[in-house]
Amino acid sequence: MRIACVGEAMIELLLDGDPNLARLGFAGDTLNTAVYLRRNLAPEHDVAFISAVGRDKLSKRLVQFVSQQGVLVDGITRDSDLLPGIYTINLNEKGERSFSYWRENSAARRLFQRPDGMPYFDSLLSYDVIYASGISLAILPDHIRSAFLIWINEFRKKGGLFAFDSNYRPKLWDNPKQARRVIESAWKQCDIALPSMDDEMEIFGDRNCKEILERFNRYGVKTGALKRGAEGPLPIGSPIDNEMIFRPAEKIVDTTAAGDSFSGAYLAALLISGSSEEALHAGHVCARAVVQQRGAIIENFSN
């Protein structure tokens, strides 16, 4: 099986400890998912990251980092004019995050564009599963974004699977109405839905989990998980036989990439076993481990 995770990789600066120093890392929502998917998937399956970076030294280090994680980098294009985006993370005493971003000139904004600005998706043709997020769509120009969703529809008709997570960042969209329209279109096309409760309430105005699940049922989504943090996920689409109980993390240090890591482990388990119950458990266990360490991509994790 070949799985492609599509989106933006960024330079991560963790502002922690010495106020004169920042810890350098590399992350991004779909990159995080790609890494945790790779770690939870048997080695005979391929996981690739599809993105665009610059030709600078940090871009080179970023690509090397992705490759060192076992994720394929053939689908990362190089842009001579642009650079990777940068973001900083500040953590409060409860491990909750606040972010500052510099991504207006990110090379990933030119993903899937020919020099003349026309769309092309050749880098996705060899994959069985495509994973993307609301951030993946938000950073693209409108005509590329629309063309991508049309291409995904054709990809699914040929037997491919589309997995999606809304990962809502309001500042990346022109307005909330545009975000709702695009994200709803993606939900209606996806085979595996991985929304977060807070995002869905903010985007669509749902009042509770019941309303979210009912909406996904109307979309016709057959498989997925509604992420609820420490409470544990709820299944979307196919119900499970027994009510599951999820053990929360003993101590929350950093919630960065909690949802992304859940998605990676969930997808790995679902794609191999086909069991929603196993996938929900795997996703929660992985996310629980991640929030107990600092940074988006932790050094050690064993499921």
165 is a catalytic site residue: no
Give the count of beta carbons closer than 10 Å to the beta carbon of residue 177. 9
Tell me if 9 sits within 8 A of 51, measured CB to CB.
yes
Query: Which tokens in the block code for residue 125?
Result: 């043709």
Helix (H) or strand (E) holding 271: helix 258-273
Query: Which tokens in the block code for residue 4?
Result: 């492609």
- Dist CA 266 CA 259 (whole Å): 10
Query: Which tokens in the block code for residue 216?
Result: 């996904």
Candidates 79, 199, 254, 260; catalytic one: 260
Rounded to the nearest 10°, the torsion over CA 227, 233, 236, 239 is 180
Percent of residues in the chain assigned helix, strand, coil, to nearest 5:
40, 20, 40
Query: Which tokens in the block code for residue 277?
Result: 């119950």
- Dist CA 9 CA 112 (whole Å): 15
Give the count of beta carbons closer than 10 Å to the beta carbon of residue 82. 19
Q: Which stretches does DSSP call E strand in 93-251?
A: 97-102, 129-133, 161-165, 192-193, 223-226, 234-237
> Which residues participate in catalysis according to the annotation?
260
